[in-house]
Amino acid sequence: MSFFSNFQTDKCPGPISGNPLGGLNEKVCIQAQRVFDACIKQGRREGAVLNMTEPVPANPTYPLTFISARSTTSVGTVTAFQVDRLPDRAGCARVQATVDIPVEVVYTDANGVEGKASSTVTVSEDVILFVPQPSVMPYEVQSVVSAVAPEGSFNAENNTFTVDLCITVILKIIIGVDLLVPSYGYCVIPPAQEYTHEVCAGFFELPLYPQGNTDCGCCGNCNK
């Protein structure tokens, strides 16, 4: 059983039924990351070069054959960001940043042994976002990332891969805050429902012995 598996209580997440004010009983302070603004950018980068590090198994036999490449985490590393406020747009700023996306490359070597190696894709962002005014608690620029390369080829001259990447980058302006929110109280946690694979279910549903009807229907003499 879980929140969304036939668990009936008004003290768990799910659709609101009736008056949404029903059950509100206090204002609580929670520690959270407030997102002041965010934007998403998606695109295709053709001919991206992936340098490999930390191959597993070590010392593959070259040349390699590309299988696939994709990001290993949804969190990108933001570096070299610069914020320039726009005088003609209150609260907005030009945000420039470099985002590094960790990538894992999967391949087979010359002996047909499958392996993998680490790499990094670097993306430059230049966008307009709402940026809060200076405060005691500073804002941060965070990134949510995804990169997938369905196609690629091996470069024997320098042991790299050239790939076509589908890249998604979400930039966020955030601050860690103590936020006051209305509360329905503590959540009720349902008991776990263990998963079992009933391999004997069909067999156990059979009758213990065959039915007693002896009329086979093969001839007309059975019931005489």
Label residues 75-95 b or e (16+ Cβ within 10 Å = b). Answer: ebebeeeeeeeeeeeeeebeb
Token reading at 126:
């230049």
H helices of the chain, where?
201-204
List per-residue pLDDT tens for the chain, 224 residues long: 576 666 677 777 777 778 888 888 899 999 999 999 999 999 999 999 999 999 999 999 999 999 999 999 999 999 988 999 999 998 999 999 999 999 999 999 999 999 999 999 999 999 999 999 989 999 999 999 999 998 999 999 999 999 999 999 999 999 999 999 999 888 888 777 776 666 666 676 777 667 766 555 555 555 54
Q: Is the pTM of this model over 0.85?
A: no
Which of 50, 106, 103 is CA-nearest to residue 73?
103
